[in-house]
Chain A
Amino acid sequence: MAQRYEPPKQSGVGQLVDSVLLMVFVFGSLMFSLFYENILGFLGMGADEADAAAAAGEVTWDSLGQNEVMQAQWEKLGYGVDEAAVLINDRFDYTIDPVALVVTAIVIIGYFVFLFRASDKEYREVLREKFDN
């Protein structure tokens, strides 16, 4: 027969610290991605390209690839050709960095492998206590 596990008591302060710590992890990861975006330029949104295109001058609806109907819709939305150029030239860059892709895949797969293995160990304890008693 398995021995029943009796968890320790947790103080009020301990409960508060655990709740706050979890929130610190969440906000930390949000801030990290912002830091990474701004500092390392890892993301694909080409803000610089948009700025460069807008700054190049001589922008026309034709040069932006807009037909008459598209032009009319932009103008109904209150956009002139220069304002529209910023949105139209703001494109994603889908060049794939193989190293980053492999690292990301390893992180996701590794995470699930760890989850299932560690969970299985804990699950066996649960079943032992539940069914062997």
Chain B
Amino acid sequence: MSEQTATAPAERINLLKVLGPVHVWALGVGIVLVGEYMGWNFSVGKGGAYGSLIACWFIGLLYTCVAMIDSEVTSTVAAAGGQYAQAKHIVGPLMAFNVGLYLVLAYTMLEAADALVVGDLLAIVAGQFGHPDLDPKPFVVLTIASLAWLNYRGVFMTLTVNFIITAVAFIALVVMFFWTQPWNPGAVLLHEKLLTDLPYGWIGVIAALQFGMWYYLGIEGTCQAAEEVRSAGRSIPLGTMSGMITLLIAATITWYMAAGLLPWEYLGQAGVPMYDAAQMTGSPTLMVLLFIGTIFSAIASANGCINDASRSWFSMGRDRYLPIWFAAVHPRYRTPYRAIIFLIPVAVAFGFTGLLDQVITFSILSGLLGYTFMSLNMMKFRKSWPLDSIKRGYVHPFHPLPALSLLILCGATYFATFLGYGASLLAIMGFYIIASVWFHFHRYKYVRRADQFTMPWPKPQGY
């Protein structure tokens, strides 16, 4: 490792500006779409099938607020690190450090869960073909290492691959939807006989909000591309909002198919519910298609997660919130290669802890803390720099309604997490409190003060 002062700003190589709206869509939807193939169904376990559907709509509203807020702030603060860079300019360094950690941990843990899905699905299918002893662990490592290599080689190819495999995974869901003949109830889909009343009543609906986040978790990752898109003001809002529309469609048809094919008690605990749902149709073609869709969605998600987590880690290193050694850009591929490489063993270690429940909850809660920050950040942003005081790429309508709605929905989701995962919630909060104290009283001394504010804006009002 070099000394902190060894990397002078003059030697800095910038990330390449090569991405368009399609890549932004691929990044956002690519990370999230795996949530339609697995994970969302745990909300059925917490609140029943109808509880999960209501959670899907309410959490959809939460993410619509996230997408609106993100589109405005990111199109104005166009820097790698997304919300991290926003926090640095609008709230302050400690908040930025925390937001950076939310992003890195949410994405790295989601990446570990994605790789586990790939390994587990291969093991299930191998079992169906007479090889029940297949060890999924090598496939977990292979998935993470291959995708890290792709990310190391360049962002354009990484996100182009993501666009293709995400599109295939989305099309697989749509094909299955038409295959199950939703216009002909009772032919394939058996909602009338499989749907039940709310098993836990309305408190179960609130509890379902926790895993309802999996329908959309990660769409805010579109911001991480802010420094690498050709036109942030156009690409980020277009890619994010079209991504959100895609996910709302995918979430609705996913719930409709799964709830019409599987008993809710099974669905609420299934590891690969959409593959199971395809099995219930009895169609081998559909099973192959959903196998491919599940694998592709998990790979696309892990790929996007590596991209986003490394950008956040890189940005924190560049600002000295973390060791500056991580701030290196590859001279040929123009990628944050040290951050990418460092996070490989971390993701593998998360995957191999055997604590998948905690890893997933850590990822969800890190996301939720980030959304809480976004609602407060939006209000401070408009107050510190009112409209017309700085140039914005996009201005979202109805302020402060989206920010206030987001804050209320975040409060409800904390309560949902408390119901059933109270210990995990406290343990994770404990981590962020300790990390904050560590940063404020130790790490911050290595940070150059004025360098934290790089946007060409006037001094914020009120200071």
Identify the A interface with B (CB < 8 A). 4-5, 7-16, 18-19, 21-23, 25-34, 36-37, 40, 42-45, 66-70, 73-74, 76-77, 79, 84, 87-88, 90-92, 94, 96, 100-101, 103-104, 107-108, 111-112, 114-116, 118-131, 133
Cα A77 to Cα B98 in complex, Å, equals 44
**What would be 9 A-B contacts, judged by CB atoms less than 8 Å apart?**
A12-B3, A18-B443, A27-B353, A73-B190, A77-B266, A100-B422, A107-B429, A108-B429, A126-B93
Most A Cβ at <10 Å: residue of B190, B279, B423, B447: B423
Provide the main secondary structure of the chain A interface.
helix
**Do B355 and A26 have beta carbons less than 8 Å apart?**
no
State which of A77, A107, A115 has its C-beta within 8 Å of the C-beta of B426.
A107
Is the contact region of chain B dominated by helix, strand, or loop, or is it mixed?
Answer: helix
Q: For A10, what are the chain B residues with a Cβ–Cβ distance below 8 Å?
A: 3-4, 323, 446
Inside 8 A of A115's CB, which chain B residues have their CB? 94-95, 98, 436
Chain B 253-265: CB-based contact to A (< 8 A → 1; otherwise 0): 0000000011101
Partner of B46, one of A7, A15, A67, A92: A92
Let me know if B349 and A27 touch, CB within 8 A: yes
A111–B359 touching, CB < 8 Å: no
What range describes how many residues of B lie at the interface? 35 or more
Instruction: From A16, A68, A107, name the one whose CB has the most chain B CB atoms within 10 angstroms.
Output: A107
| Contact (Cβ within 8 A) B423 A36 | yes
Assuming A21-B438, A108-B429, is B4 touching A119 (CB within 8 A)?
no
Known: A22-B435, A94-B204. 16 other contacts (CB 8 A): A4-B450, A29-B430, A34-B355, A36-B427, A42-B422, A69-B193, A77-B279, A77-B280, A92-B204, A92-B207, A104-B414, A115-B98, A119-B93, A123-B91, A130-B450, A130-B452
Select which of A30, A94, A100, A116 is within 8 A of B353 by beta carbon: A30
Beta-carbon contact of A30 and B355 below 8 Å: yes
Which residues from A are CB-within-8-Å of B265?
84, 87-88, 90
In contact, B440 and A94 (Cβ under 8 angstroms): no
Interface residues of B in 414-455 (CB under 8 A from A): 414, 418-436, 438, 440, 443-450, 452-453
**Which residues of B (346-370) have their CB < 8 Å from a CB of A?**
346, 349, 353, 355, 358-359, 361-362
Residue with the greatest number of chain A CB neighbours at <10 A, chosen from B2, B94, B424, B449: B449
Q: Given A23-B346, A126-B93, is A43 in contact with B443 using a C-beta cutoff of 8 Å?
A: no
Are the C-beta atoms of A74 and B4 separated by less than 8 Å? no
- Which residues on A sit within 8 Å (CB–CB) of B45? 92
Cα A73 to Cα B200 with chains together (Å): 23
Asked, given contacts A43-B422, A104-B418, A122-B94, whether A73 binds B280 with beta carbons under 8 Å apart, the answer is yes
A33-B356 Cα distance, complex, nearest whole Å: 12
Q: A18-B322, A73-B263, A88-B265 are in contact. Are A29 and B428 (CB under 8 A)?
A: yes
Instruction: Scan B182-205; emit 1 where CB is below 8 A from any A CB, else 0.
Output: 000000001001100001100110
Closest to A17 in B: B323
In the complex, what's the smallest C-beta–C-beta distance from B407 to chain A, in angstroms? 11
Tell whether, in the assembled complex, residue A92 and residue B353 are in contact, meaning their CB atoms are under 8 Å apart: no
Closest 6 CB pairs of A and B: A119-B92, A123-B92, A15-B323, A12-B1, A69-B193, A29-B431
Identify the interface centre among B200, B323, B353, B445: most chain A CB within 10 Å of its CB.
B323
Docked pose: A123 CA to B90 CA in angstroms = 9
Residue of A nearest to B190 (CB): A69
